[in-house]
């Protein structure tokens, strides 16, 4: 079972790198990783180049906003499962294993959110 993971970003290379690093830590060979940049800013493109070994597809072109960017990612995905992680967000350990091991049991899976301050203080959990 193939998972398509889509990250969209617009002129925020530091947050993009944070997200890609978390994907790289948890990367599996059954993951197709698509990064959609709504701008061709040099810093973001350099981040993509640094992590090109795990990025399956990159789309670098203007878009009409967040939903247009997400739809571009979806149109370019070939996975059985589509997941999103936005630039600046990170994924937890075993993210892909949890999804692939549980998707057969359910029609949809959604995750809770852990909000963490810059000082690593957790201040809210949404389940």
Domains in the chain, ordered, with CATH?
A: 3-126 (3.90.550.10)
State the helix-helix crossing angle for 42-50 and 13-26, rounded to 10 degrees: 10
108-119 pLDDT tens trace: 766 665 656 666
From CA 59, how far away is CA 40, in angstroms rounded? 10
Based on its alpha-carbon atoms, the radius of gyration of the chain, rounded to whole angstroms, reads: 15
Q: Band of the pLDDT at 124, cuts 50, 70, 90?
A: very low
CB 36 within 8 A of CB 59: yes
């Amino acid at each position: 079972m193939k998972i398509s993971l889509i990250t969209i970003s617009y002129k925020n290379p530091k947050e993009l790198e944070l997200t890609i690093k978390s994907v790289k830590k948890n990367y599996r060979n059954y993951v197709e990783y698509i990064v959609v940049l709504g701008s061709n800013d040099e810093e973001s493109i350099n981040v993509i180049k640094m992590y090109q070994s795990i990025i399956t597809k990159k789309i670098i072109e203007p878009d009409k906003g967040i939903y247009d960017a997400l739809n571009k990612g979806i149109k370019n995905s070939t996975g059985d499962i589509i997941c999103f992680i936005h630039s600046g967000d990170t994924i937890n350990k075993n993210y892909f294993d949890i999804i692939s091991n549980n998707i057969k049991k359910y029609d949809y899976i959604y995750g809770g959110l852990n909000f963490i301050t810059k000082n690593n203080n957790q201040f809210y959990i949404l389940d």
